[in-house]
């Protein structure tokens, strides 16, 4: 079983739709969580951290469920420019502070 798993998609949604992705992690010792965004043929960039109480950044909401070991990303009012691959990332500080990446979920927003 992969340490961090994501549905690869693609998720095809119309502009203006709300879309959500989940990411599950297997190591209960994971301590920090992030979403990175990767545009086609570009490098990944940090989108947002995920806090225990949930957090928002504009149209993006991230949530963490430690009991079920998953994090989620919700995008409201999707824009064409949201089309990208979203990478889930976890860190276990007891294991060298390395980031473990999921395989990514591809989102395609259509006009």
Partner 1 sequence: DVKVTQSSRYLVKRTGEKVFLECVQDMDHENMFWYRQDPGLGLRLIYFSYDVKMKEKGDIPEGYSVSREKKERFSLILESASTNQTSMYLCASSPYSGTNEKLFFGSGTQLSVL
Closest CB 29 distance from partner 1, rounded Å: 15
Shortest distance in whole angstroms from residue 38 CB to partner 1: 9
Token pair of 10 as six digits: 């693609």
Largest Cα separation within the chain, whole Å, is 45
Which of residues 12 and 97 has its CB atom nearest to partner 1 in the complex? 97
Give min distance, CB of 46 to partner 1, in A.
Answer: 5
Q: How far is the CB of 14 from partner 1 (least distance, A)?
A: 26
* 78/92 with CB nearer partner 1: 92
In contact, 20 and 26? CB cutoff 8 Å: no
Phi, psi of 49 (to 5 degrees): -80, 165
Based on DSSP, count helices (H) and strands (E) in the chain, helices before strands.
0, 11
Give CA–CA dist 11/46, Å, rounded: 20
Residues at the interface with partner 1 (CB under 8 A): 4, 8, 32, 34, 42-46, 49, 87, 91, 93, 97-99, 101-104
């Amino acid at each position: 079983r992969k340490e961090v798993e994501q549905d690869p998609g693609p998720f095809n949604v119309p502009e203006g739709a709300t879309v959500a992705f989940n990411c599950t992690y297997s190591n209960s010792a994971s301590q920090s969580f992030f979403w990175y965004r990767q545009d086609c043929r570009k490098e990944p960039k940090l989108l947002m951290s995920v806090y225990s109480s949930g957090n928002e950044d504009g149209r993006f909401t991230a949530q963490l469920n430690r009991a079920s070991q998953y994090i989620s990303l919700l995008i409201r009012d999707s824009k064409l420019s949201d089309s990208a691959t979203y990478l889930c990332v976890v860190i276990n500080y007891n294991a060298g502070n390395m980031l473990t990446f999921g395989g990514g979920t591809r989102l395609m927003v259509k006009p």
